[in-house]
């Protein structure tokens, strides 16, 4: 049976090939040329970004030419100012009848895509320069890290684990009764290990070893890693697995759907749970516990990362557990943001001696 990640890569490749039909042939050449050092998701995002770029060129620079008709020699004529105008265009633009806006992070990503594209043909001596390298990346303003406090974590898990919720309808309670074991396991796993949402939906039953309280996870980029979990998390996952097996043994409609499948977490339709479904269930529970915070799976990851750093004070351990390739990413998001450390630092500064 094909793994989740194999199927995901196959789907990404199909999307790439289909989208490349809307672009010049040399875009496909670029995508093929970088396949050995990039993931299918990275290449798909490059194609999405290049679609918007060539659509912009067709409408604003080479009017009268369709995106597929723009040649490499046409790109030679572009100046740095043309790329800067494109970035300005991204602030508010229309693509295929829909309106979009890009903030500084989205603009930065799209410019990085163009830099890689132009660099590829520059290195192949197909372009005389990488004009995009002459354009500065947008300044990224750091956003405050939103995470759950300890009491909010307790409230969230208590809500998910409640058999009956008084502030929702009977129909919603009936649905909650079915999904409760799964949702407890998912939120506990997020808060107790800090895995990414893409890593969670790709988990299979065989990835877990309850003898060592560990599981295999496929990291961003395809690397494999082993993570460990506490007895509390093990209890939540075992409870969910026991419920799942009971559904199969009882031959319920749900049990029949998931029989002989390998995924760890399923939707109510008996299919491997999707990223969107996980996002929705986190939002559903969190909005009642912290209505002023927009809690997402990534915010649960931030909650774990912050707590891990508070307890270990070791930025390298946090980076390793979270799967960060760049230690500066970890330092920027966790070490520098610890209020506890700031308070402790403030207490070390004395303006007058106690004896005075």
CATH code for the domain in which residue 177 is found: 1.10.443.10
Q: Answer yes or no: do 62 and 173 share one domain.
A: no
- Percent of the chain at pLDDT exceeding 70: 92
pLDDT of residue 347: 67
Last residue of a domain, one of 106, 134, 162: 134
Q: Answer yes or no: do 120 and 15 share one domain.
A: yes
Q: Please give the Cα distance from 133 to 58 (Å, whole number).
A: 22
Residue 211 domain flag: yes
Q: Answer yes or no: do 18 and 129 share one domain.
A: yes
The average pLDDT across 5-14 equals 93
Residue 272 domain flag: yes
Residue 323, domain extent: 150-344
Q: Please give the Cα distance from 317 to 28 (Å, whole number).
A: 40
Sorting pLDDT into bands at 50, 70 and 90, what band is 355? low
Q: Give yes or no for a contact between 92 and 101, defined as CB atoms under 8 angstroms apart.
A: yes
The average pLDDT across 210-219 equals 93
pLDDT of residue 237: 96
Last residue of a domain, one of 99, 134, 169: 134
Domains held by the chain: number: 2
CA distances to 76, 80, 135, 160 from 120, in Å: 14, 17, 17, 49
Residue 130 domain flag: yes
Q: What is the mean pLDDT of the chain?
A: 90
Q: How many CB atoms lie within 10 A of CB 181?
A: 21
Sorting pLDDT into bands at 50, 70 and 90, what band is 356? low
Q: Answer yes or no: do 275 and 171 share one domain.
A: yes
Q: Is the pLDDT of residue 336 over 70?
A: no
List b or e across 13-44, with b for residues whose CB sees 16 or more CB atoms inside 10 angstroms: eeebeebbebbbebbbebbeeeeeebbbebbb
Most confident of the following: 16-25, 131-140, 261-270, 287-296 = 16-25
Q: Answer yes or no: do 101 and 171 share one domain.
A: no
Q: Give yes or no for a contact between 93 and 56, defined as CB atoms under 8 angstroms apart.
A: yes
pLDDT of residue 39: 92
Residue 180 domain flag: yes
Q: Answer yes or no: do 156 and 120 share one domain.
A: no
pLDDT of residue 344: 63
Q: Please give the Cα distance from 156 to 216 (Å, whole number).
A: 26
Residue 145 domain flag: no
Sorting pLDDT into bands at 50, 70 and 90, what band is 221? confident
The average pLDDT across 315-329 equals 82
Query: What is the value of pTM for the model shown?
Result: 0.82
pLDDT of residue 227: 93
Q: What sign results for the dihedral spanned by CA atoms 84, 86, 91, 92? A: positive
The tens digit of pLDDT for each residue in 67-101 reads 999 999 999 999 999 999 999 999 999 999 999 99
Q: Answer yes or no: do 213 and 89 share one domain.
A: no
Residue 334: is it exposed, middle or buried by C-beta count within 10 angstroms (0-12/13-18/19+)? buried
Q: Give yes or no for a contact between 299 and 204, defined as CB atoms under 8 angstroms apart.
A: no
Q: Answer yes or no: do 310 and 167 share one domain.
A: yes
Mean pLDDT lowest among 107-121, 229-243, 299-313: 299-313
Q: Is the pLDDT of residue 142 over 80?
A: no
Last residue of a domain, one of 83, 106, 134: 134
Q: Give yes or no for a contact between 186 and 316, defined as CB atoms under 8 angstroms apart.
A: no
Residue 143 domain flag: no
Q: Answer yes or no: do 209 and 340 share one domain.
A: yes
Residue 121 domain flag: yes
Q: Answer yes or no: do 119 and 166 share one domain.
A: no
Q: Give yes or no for a contact between 285 and 156, defined as CB atoms under 8 angstroms apart.
A: yes
Residue 141 domain flag: no
Q: Answer yes or no: do 114 and 248 share one domain.
A: no
Q: Please give the Cα distance from 171 to 183 (Å, whole number).
A: 17
Q: Answer yes or no: do 166 and 309 share one domain.
A: yes
């Amino acid at each position: 049976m094909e793994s989740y990640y194999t199927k995901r890569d196959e789907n990404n490749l199909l999307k790439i090939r289909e989208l490349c039909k809307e672009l010049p042939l040399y875009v496909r050449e670029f995508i093929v040329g970088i396949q050995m050092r990039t993931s299918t998701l990275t290449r798909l995002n490059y194609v999405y970004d290049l679609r918007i770029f060539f659509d912009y060129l067709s409408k604003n620079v080479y009017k009268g030419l369709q995106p597929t008709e723009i040649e490499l020699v046409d790109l030679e004529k572009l100046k740095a100012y043309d790329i800067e105008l494109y970035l300005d265009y991204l602030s508010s633009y229309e693509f295929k009848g829909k309106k979009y806006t890009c903030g500084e992070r989205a603009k930065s990503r799209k410019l990085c895509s163009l830099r890689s594209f132009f660099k590829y043909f520059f290195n192949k001596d197909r372009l005389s320069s990488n004009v995009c390298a002459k354009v500065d990346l947008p300044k990224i303003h750091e956003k405050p890290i939103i995470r759950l406090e300890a009491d909010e974590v307790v409230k969230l898990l208590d809500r998910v684990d409640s058999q009956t919720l008084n502030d929702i309808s009977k129909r919603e309670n009936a649905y909650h009764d079915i999904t409760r074991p799964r949702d407890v396991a998912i939120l506990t796993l997020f808060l107790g290990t800090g895995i990414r949402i893409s890593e969670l939906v790709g988990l299979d039953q065989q990835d877990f070893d309850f003898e060592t309280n560990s599981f295999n996870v496929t990291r961003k980029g395809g690397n494999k890693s082993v993570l460990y979990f506490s007895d509390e998390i093990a209890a939540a996952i075992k409870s969910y697995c026991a419920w799942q097996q009971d559904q199969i043994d009882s031959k319920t409609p749900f049990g029949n759907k998931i029989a002989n499948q390998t995924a760890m977490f399923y939707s109510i339709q008996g299919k491997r749970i999707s990223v969107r479904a996980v996002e929705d269930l986190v939002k559903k529970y969190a909005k009642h516990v912290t209505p002023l915070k927009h809690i997402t799976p990534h915010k649960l990851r931030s909650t774990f990362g912050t707590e891990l750093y508070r307890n270990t004070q070791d930025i390298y351990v946090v980076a390793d557990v979270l799967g960060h390739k760049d230690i500066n990413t970890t330092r920027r998001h966790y070490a520098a943001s610890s209020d506890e450390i700031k308070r402790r630092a403030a207490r070390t500064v004395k303006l007058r001696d106690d004896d005075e």
